[in-house]
Chain A
């Protein structure tokens, strides 16, 4: 689709060279960052739990992920005898590729991206759900009840959380007036997190659910369904799922950075560095949440999205649209305070007539 991309947006110039260079950059970036994230999460989690975390392999245990890679690569590759073998083989790839694809439209800095799609955010919403197909394939083909339960939970979770997620993105799109990620970043003279605090919260929670992270990691809930969809996987195939999960965490952090935190924008430091700093910060918050909040039950997860997130997302969208349509030139400070006030008020009101999973859980 060369004609889709304006020639001047291309860097380093030639279309094919650009494609090649950025594909290589993206893949290396993802692999390196994922390895870093694995180490980083374990260290951070360790510190939060007042322990050291991995500290033996290499300086500060930095080589731990490498050791893990070697371990995982040398593990026996097991395929369930009664499983659906072709599907079983395909599943990790089907799950991993969409995550990689998402990165195609994420700008590292102005112009530094694979393709500046004018429907970038729509593309991301579409592609990100595809990973679930891979997960469901894995759960189905393993011929294991735990896998299947895990996979079904994943689909249920996806279907429920996709809606508030998309609705909260719409708020951003309305303010920025564009679907292209580059343009959204450029529109953020003030990071959208300030203009759209409620939208940010909903998006953040929704994406936690989408990438199956605590407290929404029901898909893998070790204590009940052992490891969920990837229970039968080992060796390289399992590693691909693992990679997929961290790559997804990376992508989501990048999207949150782009949509709400002003992307590459920032003073003094080069834009590329700003981008990475923001991504790591978002990821740290994700880990922080993981270290704090315990896993929810499936009924609580469902109730939470349908009864809490969805109505709030709708109201948020309504308020944002009203503001954009009737009072586009409202002063920023007013929007910020109004946004904050509305968020707090709504959350308080909504929690009044919302119950998580019935009376049993109400402490």
Chain B
């Protein structure tokens, strides 16, 4: 008893007495403003009215429902375009056409789309929609289904935009375009219609459309939809010469064309690089898909393996399934998380009964009386490589053999450049161009699309086509303006109570049995109600709504900072309420600067300047006498 308490007390008293004679230490918190991350949590939540557009993201993100916000019904055009518009390579004003649909005007919506791209229907069906990835609504629940809304707009249309479009007078100059893919056709359309040049498109294949026609399978993009878009381009005065392969762009210049745009895409399948690959039963996915589209008979056995994990692997596998193949397996060397194919595609493939073999790579093919034996090795994921994905490494001794009838290799493609092109090429045999103007090293010759980017997307090809049209028109002495106004000036509709809460309406697909033996379109468009209710979810990031009430229920707030993180417009900020104090290095016993490692010693700003003014007064941290 005494031992415990007595000793404790005596020792304690001695210790405190000893401390009394020690030199006091004073740490003063440096008052320099630290650069704080957006994720900082503090006890002060500041809201800046200047930045707030009244999008309700913060309120919807608060797990406790502490934020109450009321906005005026009238919105005004803000200064910055919506992120969907910004991140679309062709800058289609999605926010605006979504509002047109909300007003029940699909015609206007199509006019808005048409102002930027000549392939609205194609995009409505198969666009890779980078806009949705950047959509702010994704911060709340799920991005707006922008592509589906575009599809709704094109599917329910009377084509009013045609009456408003004008054709430029002929300039008397001739432009040749090699390749009738989206890049080539887009450039052709704008050069012919808005710049008045006589454009001829040379296409090696019997039909125009490039990968849109011979890559993307019918069940995703029906031919008719594509043909509609292309005939619109032909109506604008573009001449398309099919079955004409061009091997030397200079020959076109010699024939009297003033400029040439090379848009030959990436059509050469990359080899697997394994032993025994030169077997006629091993097909390249591009060739396979093209043969199918051309209506040729592709003799496939009952067991087919598709090697690769991208969208063309999915397309090849699903196409093979529709040709009557019993057993389709996709072999991919990493896991599902690393698959470059879009998640919906993977989902659909699995849904249709395709097997995917993850973490496996082919090493050798042998053939025994009509049967292919594919030797594979199991892989494991190792360190991250330059692309941030984990590099697969083979596991010793884990080899196994799969017996197959056919193999489709869908690893990747590269442009097939005829030798006489004589253009500088870069990684993956892509043509090197000036990234701003798309001009090649050769005078009057431009290039773009997959031929420059490597396998990419339709919307990037369209953007390249637009850029090519601008550059070529300027090169030919024109203004380079290819914008036209097709939609009427926008009347901004009222909005009551913020965007609709809830998720996307469901998208339906055709039943399972109908998929397997036909190339019918799988995905079905939306009806009016679904489209309308989806438009109501849009936050209208390009508008500014007057915020009439912005109230934070401080009692319920747990200062978790989720609202701050969610606000897409930097209108919320969390910080600390430091008290005002003075920082004099000369008086300091411990100097933070000296304690820090040299690289962190630099005094830094505390808050971003635009939020500084919104912080409570006592937050300001004061003079330093350095």
Contact = CB atoms under 8 A, between A and B. Distances in A.
A48 interface: yes
Contact of B4 (A48, A49, A293, A363): A363
Interface in B1-54: 1-2, 4-6, 9, 12-13, 15-17, 19-20, 22-26
B24 A292 contact: no
Nearest to A352: B1
B5 A351 contact: yes
B9 A52 contact: no
Given A354-B1, A355-B1, A288 B24 contact: no
A288 B2 contact: no
A192 B393 CA distance: 88
B1 A288 contact: no
Contacts of B13: 288-289, 292
A51 B24 contact: yes
B16 A351 contact: no
B2 A351 contact: yes
Given A51-B25, A351-B1, A362-B4, A292 B9 contact: yes
Nearest to A351: B2
Given A46-B24, A288-B16, A291-B16, 19 more contacts: A44-B20, A47-B20, A47-B22, A48-B16, A49-B19, A50-B22, A50-B23, A50-B24, A51-B24, A288-B17, A288-B20, A289-B13, A292-B12, A292-B13, A292-B16, A348-B2, A351-B6, A352-B1, A363-B4
Contacts, number: 50
Interface in A274-332: 288-289, 291-293
Contacts of B6: 347, 351
6 contacts: A50-B19, A52-B24, A288-B20, A292-B16, A351-B1, A351-B6
Classify the interface of chain B: helix, strand, loop or mixed: helix
A262 B4 CA distance: 34
Contact of A48 (B2, B9, B20, B25): B20
A10 interface: no
Contacts of A48: 16-17, 19-20
Interface of B: 1-2, 4-6, 9, 12-13, 15-17, 19-20, 22-26
A355 B257 CA distance: 108
Contacts of B22: 47, 50
A106 B591 CA distance: 50
B12 A52 contact: no
A356 interface: yes
A350 to B, nearest CB: 9
A348 B2 CA distance: 7
Interface string A199-230: 00000000000000000000000000000000
Nearest to B4: A363
Nearest to B27: A51
Contact of A50 (B2, B4, B25): B25
Nearest to B3: A351
6 smallest A-B Cβ distances: which pairs? Answer: A351-B2, A351-B1, A292-B12, A292-B16, A52-B24, A291-B16
Contacts of A289: 13
B26 A51 contact: yes
Contacts of A348: 2
B338 to A, nearest CB: 54
A301 B4 CA distance: 17
Interface in A220-278: none
Contact of B26 (A44, A52, A354): A52
Interface string A342-363: 0000011001101110000011
Interface string A35-49: 000000000101111
Contacts of B17: 48, 288
Nearest to B26: A52
Nearest to A55: B26
A48 B19 CA distance: 5
A347 B1 CA distance: 11
B197 to A, nearest CB: 80
Nearest to B23: A50
Contacts of A352: 1-2
User: Quick one: which of B13, B16, B26 has the most chain A CB within 10 A?
Assistant: B16
Contacts of B23: 50
A47 B4 contact: no
A47 B19 contact: yes
A341 to B, nearest CB: 16
Contacts of A52: 24, 26
Nearest to A289: B13
Given A47-B24, A50-B24, A51-B24, A356 B16 contact: no
Contacts of A50: 19, 22-25
B210 to A, nearest CB: 75
Contacts of B1: 351-352, 354-355, 362
Contacts of A288: 13, 16-17, 20
Interface in A143-168: none
Contact of A292 (B4, B5, B15, B25): B15
Interface in A23-44: 44
Interface string A67-97: 0000000000000000000000000000000
Contacts of B12: 292-293
B160 to A, nearest CB: 70
A293 B20 CA distance: 15
Contacts of A362: 1, 4
Nearest to B10: A292
Contacts of B26: 51-52
Nearest to A347: B2
A296 to B, nearest CB: 11
A348 B9 CA distance: 14
Contacts of A47: 19-20, 22, 24
B24 to A, nearest CB: 5
A47 B21 CA distance: 8
Contacts of A292: 9, 12-13, 15-16
